[in-house]
Structure 1
Amino acid sequence: MSALSKAVRTVRAEGLDGVAERLTRRAVRRFGVEVEPLMLRASDVADSQRLPSWPDGRTRPRGSALDIGWVLTPPAAGSGGHTTIFRLVEALEAAGHRCVLYLYDTGTGSLAEREQVIRRWWPRVRAEVRDVADGLPDMDAWIATAWQTAHVLARHGDVRGRRFYLAQDYEPYFYGRGSAYELAEDSYRFGFRMLTVGHMVADELRQQLGLEATVLPFGCDQDVYRVTNHGAREEVVFYARPGTPRRGFELAVMALEEFSRRRPDVVVNTFGIAARKLPFPAVVHSGLHPTELNELYNRCAAGLAMSFTNISLIAYELLAAGVVPVVNDWRGSRADLDNPFVAWSRPTPAALAEALERAVDRSADVSAQRVTDSVRNVTWGTAHRTVVSAIEAACHDPELEKVGDA
């Protein structure tokens, strides 16, 4: 297999986190030192204290269709973060606006290969797909979707368009205090209009940097994640993301090893990145489509949904499928996940194993229907309306009427 094919396969399977981990290991072998993969070219790094004032572009009449550019990294198949981005793209397209996706790629894949992944996994997205390297034109609005893409957008200071920044997490927390941490944090100082997924990120921006944000509430795809099994459930499930520290993989593995020692009769399933050589028996799933994932959820009484930054969407999916999520307890998670069926746990192996065991043992007394009913009103509708309203308010002049209006 060629190096290009291997790189493309890695991005599709593991996303940029997987590529970054491999690059780190390669650098250690080559140079004998640990490096921090930034996934950002040095020429694209911006400085919040040295930015020009970019032109906003013209204000359109109320009701006019807008041209909206999104700057994003290439998605891996089924990427959760990209799924949220594309939900918002679909909402803006449904409101009559035109979206264009500009991919910022530091890897070796072709634009055609990247677009193929988008069309296969997110077929409802109509937006044209382009490469940042081919240039950014004037737009009514631009939306950065990660700290690296915020730097890229900030470096294009001559491009017209109101700047927005969709923050799905407080991304400095992805790293130890160092290069990536500082560059990620500085991206919030660029002066873009902040849109956050959930209250945790908005709270951190306010507390750490004194910034205000428009909050897009969390939702759940109720058409996909739902109860199909009202009978007995005798398995557990774990979302595995080795190489992504915020997902607590190492803690979860220790907890599941202890849980399996206590309850060898319970089948443990993993999905996400295929986790091999686990110290306990497990059924390892990879490449599951959402409908297949819902089928797996419906065999399970409890699921381990770890996150040490913003809450994982997995917790909402589990609840919608009638599964009790076991979640590491911290204020950031509780900011957006207020549900009586969540099993909060101290983030230690023993505490997590005990919480899983209690959830499994009590599953007969808590019906899957009651669990799913608790999130019946948790949809993406409010987030969709909020993002459309925020962008239209910034780009439309309420005093100007669209030609043809009464």
Structure 2
Amino acid sequence: METRVSAAANLLRRVGTLGPREASQRMARRVAGSLAVRFDTADLDFPLLPQDIADSTTLQLTPPSAGSSGPELRIAWLCTPPGPGSGGHTTFFRMVRGMEERGHRCTIMLYDRHRGDLDRHRAVIRSGWPELAASIEPVPASLAGFDACVASSWDTAHVLARRGGSSMHRFYFVQDFEPFFYPRGSLYSLAEDSYRFGFTLLALGPMVASTLLREVGVKATIIPFGSDVAAYRRHQSDNRSGVVFFARPGVDRRGYELGRLALRQFHRLHPDQEIHIYGSMVRGWGIPLTQHGMLSRAELNGLYNRTTAGLALSFTNITLVASEMLAAGNIAVLNDHEFSRQVLTNPEAVWAAPTPSSLAAALSEVVTDSGRNIRSERAATHPGHSWAAAQAELSQIMTEVAECKI
């Protein structure tokens, strides 16, 4: 009885300290955590089936056969089902399209450990990436009948290690150092181990390549970053106002909470400046927001052209949002980090310390700059590179490896 009375008294004290809303939110999180333990729901969030977990210390891959089946490679592209507008999938599918344009036969292999609706996944891909000609299939028990297979993430690298056919060449298109997505622990270790499987590593940008070498001791070929120069460009208009932020709650490496705190401070400094949010629909900011949800590339280019500045936050490999904003004449404010500086060379980008006050001050400096229109023009005219160089580099590496030239 005393225990229950003490617990009730403690709860009342917490409600008085936190307020009923925050106290109820904390209680809900505790209940959710208890239910997860009781019913083992954490297993549902684990990205791999038990039989698809590989181990570099015991893995014995059969070397691929010498040469390819012919000038047209049969390539399996291994990925998880994308959501609409997924940035990582967009870059991966650009590489698929680059190989299709060179005459290779491509198949997108979807790994869905929950065995979801394949037709729905196909519809998402056909709608979001209509340029792809590749067939779309579920990953079979054995990936046979291909000259090469390309993994797109640490979990699909495990699947490739476990299911890859003995005669195929195995590639790993590494867009980020994915252990950084997690605290030090099980997922961190499994992600890190995926780089030790002996695949040909293709690293998107110098940050990934240098981090792989420093953290794991493995070398990778750098695939250069590109930008969608056809979709993102500046309109001839100086009537810009407001700022924009790509919101990804729950993806901490994209700085959602930091962006929210910074934009609250920015609103106090500039209540007349409209704040635009796209990506996820958000709640509880306590300031006026204009929410757009998911946008097409054309719609997003229009939004960038209507606004003066934007937050482009990333704490691992750089987000493509930054270069796309700048190409449209929107001045991107980034958290200052060596990873991003290795890639982004546009001199009009604004770098700020990753604190709410510093980011808010950087946005404020841009929107109050009397020369912001000239600044916008300079940002948009900085030379950009399409994805053609990345596609060409990947094609050359894959072809030479498949033909056993390297």
Does the alignment pair 1:215 with 2:222? Answer: yes
Query: Scaled by the length of structure 2, what TM-score is found?
Result: 0.88
The whole-number CA distance in structure 2 between the counterparts of 1:340 and 1:34 is 47
Q: C-alpha offsets along residues 356-384 of structure 1, whole Å, 9 cap, x if unaligned?
A: 1011112535343221111x332111101
Does the alignment pair 1:289 with 2:307? Answer: no
- Aligned partner of 1:155 in structure 2 is 162
- 8 Å Cα contact 1:57-1:139 kept in structure 2: no
Does the alignment pair 1:275 with 2:272? Answer: no
Shift of 1:28: 4.7
- Give 1:107-118 correspondences, 5 Å limit: 107=114, 109-118=116-125
2:68 to 57, 60, 65: 60
- 8 Å Cα contact 2:226-2:390 kept in structure 1: yes
- Give 1:78-93 correspondences, 5 Å limit: 78-93=85-100
Which letter does structure 1 place at the counterpart of 2:289? Answer: A
- Aligned partner of 2:257 in structure 1 is 250
Which letter does structure 2 place at the counterpart of 1:235? Answer: G
Does the alignment pair 1:40 with 2:48? Answer: yes
Kindly tell me the number of residue pairs found equivalent between the two proteins: 375
Does the alignment pair 1:173 with 2:180? Answer: yes
Shift of 1:157: 5.0
- Aligned partner of 2:317 in structure 1 is 310
Q: C-alpha offsets along residues 313-335 of structure 1, whole Å, 9 cap, x if unaligned?
A: 00010011111100001111111
Shift of 1:57: 2.9
The whole-number CA distance in structure 1 between the counterparts of 2:219 and 2:291 is 42
- 8 Å Cα contact 2:243-2:310 kept in structure 1: yes
The whole-number CA distance in structure 2 between the counterparts of 1:86 and 1:343 is 30
- 8 Å Cα contact 1:220-1:317 kept in structure 2: yes
Secondary structure, counterpart of 1:188 in structure 2: helix
Shift of 1:123: 0.5
CA separation of 1:397/1:246 partners in 2, compared to 1, >3 Å: closer, same or farther?
closer
Shift of 1:134: 5.4
Which letter does structure 2 place at the counterpart of 1:377? Answer: G
Pair member with larger Rg: 2
The whole-number CA distance in structure 2 between the counterparts of 1:276 and 1:28 is 25
- Give 1:2-401 correspondences, 5 Å limit: 28-31=34-37, 35=42, 37-60=45-68, 64-107=71-114, 109-133=116-140, 135-156=142-163, 158-362=165-369, 364-374=372-382, 376-396=383-403
- Aligned partner of 1:16 in structure 2 is none
Shift of 1:274: 1.3
What percent of counterpart residues are identical?
43
The whole-number CA distance in structure 1 between the counterparts of 2:42 and 2:124 is 29
CA separation of 1:34/1:356 partners in 2, compared to 1, >3 Å: closer, same or farther?
farther
Query: Scaled by the length of structure 1, what TM-score is found?
Result: 0.88
The whole-number CA distance in structure 2 between the counterparts of 1:338 and 1:249 is 24
Q: C-alpha offsets along residues 152-179 of structure 1, whole Å, 9 cap, x if unaligned?
A: 0001254321111001000000000011
Gaps of 5+ in 1: 1-23, 400-406
Which letter does structure 2 place at the counterpart of 1:344? Answer: W
CA separation of 1:326/1:26 partners in 2, compared to 1, >3 Å: closer, same or farther?
same
Alpha carbon RMSD of aligned pairs, Å? 2.2
Secondary structure, counterpart of 2:293 in structure 1: coil
CA separation of 1:130/1:157 partners in 2, compared to 1, >3 Å: closer, same or farther?
closer
The whole-number CA distance in structure 1 between the counterparts of 2:120 and 2:135 is 14
The whole-number CA distance in structure 2 between the counterparts of 1:365 and 1:281 is 25
Which letter does structure 2 place at the counterpart of 1:31? Answer: V
Indicate the structure whose relative CO is greater, using CA pairs within 8 Å and at least 6 residues apart: 1
Runs (4+) of structure 1 exceeding 6 A deviation are none
Gaps of 5+ in 2: 1-29
The whole-number CA distance in structure 1 between the counterparts of 2:76 and 2:166 is 11
Shift of 1:108: 5.0
Secondary structure, counterpart of 1:285 in structure 2: strand
Shift of 1:277: 2.1
- 8 Å Cα contact 2:229-2:384 kept in structure 1: no
Q: C-alpha offsets along residues 270-328 of structure 1, whole Å, 9 cap, x if unaligned?
A: 11111122222111111211111111111111000000000000001001111110000
- 8 Å Cα contact 2:143-2:164 kept in structure 1: no
